[in-house]
């Protein structure tokens, strides 16, 4: 008997899926189609948020929630008639194309056709044509479930811009329990219109990113973010400090009411100030944990931000130098108990140094104390003389 040699079945080079193209906005096109969820890992991956060796931000997705994935998988494995009605959202690059099946009917926003998605089992995840914007837990559950197939609904858009993918990711997840730190870290690299509260935070978030990853910054890698989990200072504390100054403090004048904001001036001012803080209060600044120093605690960061605004106002300089900031900070050094002793807020209010908490009341109490002590020292004759001398140097 003659044996014939078995030949491997050639892998398909593309999926050809019936789809509906929906026109949304002048240049936006959405594509709705059905696909076996088991095939999603072949055409799309998850863009994990991370930073490369040059601190450039890549990706936008948080790690899988194993408990959530497990719950969905158990439902798929045990229910006799499971249903996942929500569509997965995928961003495809321009290797994916749509072939219309006919002309769009007049007055219609949609036209039928086929979506052609290339498949290559040899490529790495990062080189696949699609990135999952929403639905990573559902896709992971279908991937791991003990079922042969499970068709799902997909809504997709096509773009090569990572900033576009990030903005859509934030918009899709802004009403869900998405970690705020992740949203804040993604904001600097987003494009397009975002909800008002996020637009307000975009510039302070960009400043935070620069402060955290510029080697010349006194806050270099000291701010705890999703991509810098070993940071000491909470990102939300820095963000609140920057937002306060941006809204009506020292950074306000650089917002660019009649033009773009002057990001460079903002960064220089904040860097000069916190360089001075690190120098004047070096022992408290260099502690490894906020519990060991109220200076790097949320209450200290926010309160010292208000002091930055006050010192800048008193010096009457757009961007005081770190030396000028340091000279002013030294006037209150002996009044501060960042790591030991007590805070003597007034004759009736004495608090242990570590009793200060990151609450609205304690932040206000600490802020009022620092501003009061600074103003008292600045209004002393030596303080006024120092101020006049500083002004003469700047005007020379």
C-alpha–C-alpha distance, residues 295 and 301, integer Å: 6
Token pair listed for 283: 């022992």
Q: From its phi and psi, is residue 245 left (phi > 0), alpha (psi between -120 and 50) or beta?
A: alpha
Q: Is the pLDDT of residue 216 over 90?
A: yes
- In whole angstroms, what is the distance from residue 325 CA to residue 231 CA? 25
Is it the case that residue 394 has pLDDT exceeding 60? no
d(CA 150, CA 76): 9
The closest alpha carbon to 218, from 332, 309, 322, belongs to: 322
Spatial contact of 179 and 62, defined as CB atoms under 8 Å apart: yes
Instruction: Tell me the pLDDT tens digit for each residue of 277-322.
Output: 999 999 999 999 999 999 999 999 999 999 999 999 999 888 999 9
For the chain, how far is it from start to end, CA to CA, in angstroms? 105
The pLDDT of 143-168, averaged and rounded, is 86
Spatial separation of the C-alpha atoms in residues 140 and 148, rounded to whole Å: 14
Mean pLDDT taken over the chain: 85
Q: Tell me if 234 sits within 8 A of 185, measured CB to CB.
A: no
Q: Name beta bridge partners: 343.
A: 351
Cβ–Cβ < 8 Å for 124, 188: no
Place of tokens 């990572």: 162
Closest Cα partner for 57 from 184, 174, 168? 184
Decide if 136 contacts 68 (C-beta within 8 A): no
pLDDT in tens, 106-119: 767 899 999 999 99
Closest CA to 371 of 311, 327, 281: 311
Q: 312-370 pLDDT, tens per residue? A: 999 988 899 999 999 999 999 999 999 999 999 988 899 999 999 999 999 999 999 99
185: enclosing H helix or E strand: helix 180-186
Q: Which of 250, 214, 248 is nearest to 328 (CA)?
A: 250
271 vs 384: which has the higher pLDDT: 271
In degrees, to the nearest 5, what angle opens at C-alpha 247 toward C-alphas 256 and 56?
A: 70
Distance, CA of 242 to CA of 301 (rounded, Å): 10
Give the H or E element holding residue 92.
Answer: strand 88-92
Q: What is the average per-residue pLDDT within 56-74? A: 70
Length of the chain: 396
8-46 per-position pLDDT tens digit? 545 558 899 999 999 988 888 999 999 999 999 999 987
Can you give the C-alpha Rg of the chain in angstroms? 28
């Amino acid at each position: 008997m003659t044996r014939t040699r078995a030949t491997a079945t050639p892998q398909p080079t593309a999926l050809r899926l019936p789809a509906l193209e929906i026109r949304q906005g002048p240049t936006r096109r959405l594509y709705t189609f059905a696909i076996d969820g088991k095939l999603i890992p072949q055409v799309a991956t998850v863009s994990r948020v991370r930073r490369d060796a040059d601190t450039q931000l890549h990706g936008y997705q948080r790690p899988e929630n194993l408990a959530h994935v497990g719950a969905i998988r158990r439902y798929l494995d045990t229910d006799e008639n499971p249903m996942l009605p929500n569509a997965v959202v995928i961003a495809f690059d321009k290797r994916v194309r749509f072939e219309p099946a006919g002309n769009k009917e007049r007055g219609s926003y949609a036209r039928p056709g086929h979506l052609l998605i290339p498949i290559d089992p040899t490529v790495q995840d990062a080189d696949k044509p699609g990135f999952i914007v929403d639905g990573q837990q559902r896709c992971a559950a279908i991937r791991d479930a003990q079922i042969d197939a499970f068709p799902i609904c997909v809504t997709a858009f096509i773009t090569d811009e990572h900033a576009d993918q990030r903005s859509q990711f934030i918009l899709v997840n802004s009403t869900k329990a998405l970690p705020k730190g992740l949203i804040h870290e993604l904001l600097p690299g987003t494009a397009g219109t975002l909800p008002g509260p996020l637009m307000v935070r975009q510039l302070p978030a960009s400043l935070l990113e620069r402060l955290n990853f510029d080697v010349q910054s006194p806050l270099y890698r000291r701010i705890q973010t999703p991509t810098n989990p070993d940071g000491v200072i909470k990102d939300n504390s820095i963000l609140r400090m920057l937002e306060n100054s941006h809204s009506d403090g020292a950074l306000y004048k650089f917002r660019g009411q009649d033009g773009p904001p002057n990001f460079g001036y903002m960064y220089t001012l904040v860097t000069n100030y916190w360089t001075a803080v690190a120098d004047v209060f070096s022992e408290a600044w260099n502690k490894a944990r906020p519990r060991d120093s109220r200076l790097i605690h949320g209450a200290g960061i926010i309160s010292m931000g208000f002091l930055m605004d006050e010192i800048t106002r008193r010096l009457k300089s757009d961007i005081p130098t770190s030396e000028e900031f340091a000279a002013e900070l030294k006037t209150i050094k002996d009044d501060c108990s960042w790591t030991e002793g007590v805070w003597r807020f007034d004759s009736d209010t004495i608090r242990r140094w570590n009793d200060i908490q990151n609450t609205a009341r304690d932040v206000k109490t600490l802020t009022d104390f620092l501003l009061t002590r600074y103003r008292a020292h600045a209004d002393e004759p030596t303080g006024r003389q120092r101020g006049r001398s500083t002004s003469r140097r700047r005007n020379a």
